[in-house]
Amino acid sequence: MGMRESTRDRMLDAAEELFFSRGIAATPVDAVIARAGVSTATMYRGFPSKEALVAAALERRERAWIVTWDAAVDAAGSEAERLLAVFDALDDFRAERDSARWCAFLGAAAEHVDADEEVAAAVRADTEAFRIRLERLAADVAPGLEHELAESLLLVISGHLAMRLRDPSQSSATARRVAHAVIAAIAQAPAL
């Protein structure tokens, strides 16, 4: 019933590269199959549907993103720098793969509006994981206000990713500057 790991990897590689750079709806299953060098039957034996393939690709990307993020946080110094390291991770992640011109989860959320429970669940899981990790880092910078700070930073990061959707070459400098202002405002004036 299963499929060989190398085959599965090739399929997910192709799915990631095509779905998340050209768009999910705009990429036919045939294109993924051709890119992976796999037959139609093989794909449908490994994944029940296109949607399942999309969800699997999203989940694998989520795990890869966490690894990149963790590495950037570990490389940072102060608590504030560890919090801002998410922008380094964003840059690293984009540099590593062509398909990360913009956020796959943002794109998936925009394409699958109210439908597709499997994909929607992956998007929700990503957002939640993101928020929780931000809160953990924010607690070291602004104890007691980590919820507020994390929510604000989540908005800044989403804004950066949304800007990238229109202009994929956009640097993270503006986002970093905004994030810095937010951290300063919350950390320096905790009574605000």
Partner DNA sequence: CCCAATCGACAACGCACGTTTCACTTCGGC
Partner DNA sequence: GCCGAAGTGAAACGTGCGTTGTCGATTGGG
**Which stretches of the chain bind DNA, using CB under 7 A?**
1-4, 7, 27-30, 37-42, 44-46, 48-51
143 CB contacts (<8 Å, ≥6 apart)? none
Q: How far apart are CA 119 and CA 104, in angstroms?
A: 11
Shortest distance, CB of residue 162 to its own copies, whole angstroms?
Answer: 4
| Partner from its own copies, DNA, none contacting 28, C-beta within 5 to 8 A by type | DNA
> Contact positions toward its own copies, by CB under 8 A?
21-23, 25-26, 106-107, 109-115, 123-124, 127, 151-152, 154-163, 165-166, 174-175, 177-178, 180-182, 184-186
Cα(146)–Cα(191) distance, integer angstroms:
13
Half-sphere exposure of 33 (CA within 13 A, CB side): 14
DSSP 14: H
Residue 64 or 109: the one with the smaller Cβ distance to its own copies is: 109
Angle at the Cα of 131 (from 127 to 137), degrees rounded to 5?
A: 150
Residue 40 near which of DNA, its own copies, none (CB within 5-8 Å, type-dependent): DNA
**Minimum CB distance to its own copies, residue 25 (Å):** 5
Minimum CB separation of residue 51 from its own copies in Å reads 13
- Which DSSP string do the residues of 17-53 spell out, in sequence order? HHHHHH-STTS-HHHHHHHHT--HHHHHHH-SSHHHH
Give whichever of 113 and 191 is closer to DNA, judged by the CB atom.
113
Q: Cβ of residue 102: shortest distance to DNA, in angstroms?
A: 20
Nearer to DNA, 48 or 190 (CB): 48
**Sign of the CA dihedral with 88 first, then 86, 71, and 97 last:** negative
Least CB distance from residue 143 to DNA, whole Å? 48
